[in-house]
Amino acid sequence: MNEHLKLKNTAVALDIGTTKVCAIAGQLNEYGKLEIVGMGVVRSEGVSRGVVSNIDKTVKAIREAVDIAERNAQCKFKIVHVGIAGQHIKSLHHHGLLVRHDSNTEINQDDIDKLIKDMYKLVLPPGDKILHVVPQEYTVDDEQDIFDPIGMSGVRLEANFHIITGQISASRNILRCVEKAGLEVADVTLEPIASAASVLNDQEKEAGVALVDIGGGTTDITIFKDGIIRHTCVIPFGGNVITKDIREGCTVMNEQAEKLKVKFGSAMADEIVDNRIITIPGFKGREHKEISEKNLARIIQARVEEIFDYVLWEIRRSGFETKLIAGMVLTGGGSLLKHIDLLAEYHTGLHTRVGHPVEHLAHGYTKELSSPIFSTAVGLLKHTIDNFGDKTQYIEEFKRITEEPRFYDSNTQQGNKSQGKVMENDQNEGDDDDMETSETPKKKGIFNKIFSLTKDFFETVPDSEF
């Protein structure tokens, strides 16, 4: 593949989170795997619990992240695919019915589309908009539990739908930030769906699995069974509340609390055997503070157990608690807490593993990219590429996404490589020179197709609503 075609064949995804903004560019190789050609990550300061709270700060972060990714990819981006999350995301179930006038003809895709289109006519609370409509199972006349009715004959076509909604104002604020950063939004995808695309395999989705994405500001839950999304929800707190508890419980600064969580934190106090003493320098000449590792773990465990209480409540509410053969998969920055998978198993009774976004990555990916922190970003990229059909359509569609190569001199690129490292976020390695322990610590470890929501979908709402 020549360089010119390579650039045309590049998709760009933008993950705007509570702790970080990540721009990632990639393409499919000849084996159908994702090759990442550029990535930029910066600290996010204008987003609270997944919702934009400061336009200017968010725009600045987007520009910086995209600029780093552009330099790594050696091209200029024009169009990006964006993820959406936040505590405003809700879901509901609804039943649809279509009476066909000609029972002699076969059910086709047009009939399915009519049923789905009818779901968008549902009356919602003021300010809410439907983001995704996910078919569950169909009924043709008296034949129930049909997953693909196309080709069958019948008069009554019925279906159950899982409908995901969100506040139109929150969505429009994201679009506004991206446009102010000089980019165009191609579509918007629910982030839990994107995360599932990067860390779950088809067997897990078929058997039944709950994906729990523990981010900085929110915890997203997505339940799959028989390969279909059955339940989605957003819990309005994540890793940041753990940091806040440490700050208050240990009476330290927020930055020190984050470093304590990342370097010494554990989700299970009983797993702490040697109980090292952590020494924190005093502020402005004040005396040093000493915190035991076990006490730190007790603070963390109490909050993580509360998060899993909410997770278990949502799983039970979905009705799939006894049907999750594959158990639970944790991802996101919060999943990097030591022993969090053990605590999840003890607390929920479900087999649990930590999901890394390597399911669809080509060989040669960096260790940094394999962190659960990037599950959403990689999933957005995979979801974007999957939605553009065969190779010909894929190349033609992405002709518009990048301009001609914009190469930089060697000095600029060298400087960029140092910038392209992951910045400190919910689970990043902090500068730990100011903390010591009474014992030498161990080596630290850091870090199918769904209906997409297009930009045009939001443009029907007048600006007067904001």
In this predicted model, what pLDDT tens digit does every residue of 52-90 receive, in sequence order?
889 999 999 999 999 999 998 888 888 898 988 888 888
> Does 327 have pLDDT greater than 90?
yes
| Cα 36 to Cα 72: distance, rounded to the nearest angstrom | 10
CA dist 52 → 19, 75, 130, 367, 427 (Å): 12, 28, 19, 30, 21
In the chain, % of residues over pLDDT 70: 81
Backbone dihedral region for residue 226 (phi beyond 0: left; psi -120 to 50: alpha; all else: beta): left
Q: What is the mean pLDDT of residues 266-288?
A: 85
Q: How confident is the model at residue 434 (pLDDT cuts 50, 70, 90)?
A: low
Residue 347's pLDDT is 92
DSSP SS3 for 50 = coil
- The whole-number pLDDT of residue 273 equals 85
Distance CA 132, CA 21 (A): 23
Q: How far apart are the first and last CA of the chain?
A: 46
8 Å CB contact between 264 and 246: no
Q: Is the dihedral of CA 311, 316, 322, 324 positive or negative?
A: negative
Structure tokens at 96: 């649809």
CA distance 135 to 112: 9
Higher pLDDT, 277 or 366: 277
Average pLDDT of span 335-364: 92
d(CA 89, CA 86): 6
Q: What is the distance between the alpha carbons of residues 462 and 457, in angstroms, rounded to a whole number?
A: 12
Antiparallel, parallel or unpaired: β 184-190 and 79-84: parallel
**Could you read off the pLDDT of 153-212 as tens digits, one per residue?**
889 999 999 999 988 888 889 999 999 999 988 888 888 888 998 999 999 999 999 999
Spatial separation of the C-alpha atoms in residues 356 and 443, rounded to whole Å: 20
What is the model's pTM? 0.78
Return the half-sphere exposure (C-beta side, CA atoms, 13 A cut-off) of residue 123.
0
- For residue 435, is pLDDT > 70? no
**Ordered structural domains, the chain, with CATH:** 90-165+456-460 (3.30.1490.110)
Going from the C-alpha of 261 to that of each of 34, 197, 250, 264, 405, the distances in angstroms are 32, 28, 12, 6, 42
Q: Which residues make beta-bridge pairs with 130?
A: 165
The whole-number pLDDT of residue 248 equals 92
392 close to 409: Cβ distance less than 8 angstroms? no
For residue range 29-55, list pLDDT tens digits in order: 888 888 898 999 999 888 888 888 899
For residue 275, the model assigns a pLDDT of 83
| Res 238 pLDDT > 60 | yes
Q: Give the pLDDT band (50/70/90) at residue 365.
A: confident
Q: What is the pLDDT of residues 96-117, one digit of tens each?
A: 999 988 778 899 999 999 999 9
* CA distances for 358 relative to 18, 107, 386, 395, 452, angstroms: 23, 38, 16, 24, 23
H or E segment to which residue 62 belongs: helix 55-73
Q: What is the spatial distance between Cα 83 and Cα 134, in angstroms, rounded to a whole number?
A: 17
Average pLDDT estimate for 336-354: 94
How does pLDDT run across 223-237, given as a tens digit for each residue?
999 999 999 989 988
